[in-house]
Each structure stands twice: as structure tokens, then as C-alpha cells.
């Protein structure tokens, strides 16, 4: 039996040099694990990993 699963978030790991879009994806929350010294967009929930 096949079931469709809908997600309402995106999780991403980055060093902060990802070319982010100007606006967040519609209908999605974005969670970013930041592993470097770069930046994340203001519309994303950022969690710093490491030093």
C-alpha cells in the first residue's frame, strides 16, 4: 500500500556559503545546521554546530 507523506520542513547542513534564495520556500520551515563561519538567511532557524 503506497501512502503519500507530506513534509512541512527542510533540514540542511551547510558551512554557511550556500547560495540561499531571497525568500523561504512557501509553506516550509527551514532548519539549518551551520558548521562553518558563513551566514544563513534570517528566515531560517539556525543551529550552530562546533566551535
Sequence-distant (≥ 6) Cβ neighbours of residue 19 within 8 angstroms: none
H-run or E-run covering 45: strand 45-48
- What local confidence, expressed as pLDDT, does residue 51 receive? 62
Q: How does pLDDT run across 7-51, given as a tens digit for each residue?
A: 899 999 999 999 999 999 999 999 999 999 999 999 999 999 986
Q: Does this model's pTM top 0.85?
A: no
Contact call for residues 32 and 40 (beta carbons, < 8 A): yes
Amino acid at each position: 500500500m503506497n501512502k503519500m507523506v507530506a513534509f512541512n520542513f527542510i533540514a540542511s547542513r551547510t558551512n554557511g556559503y550556500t547560495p540561499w534564495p531571497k525568500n523561504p520556500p512557501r509553506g516550509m520551515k527551514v532548519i539549518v545546521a551551520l558548521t562553518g563561519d558563513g551566514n544563513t538567511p534570517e528566515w531560517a532557524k539556525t543551529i550552530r554546530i562546533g566551535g
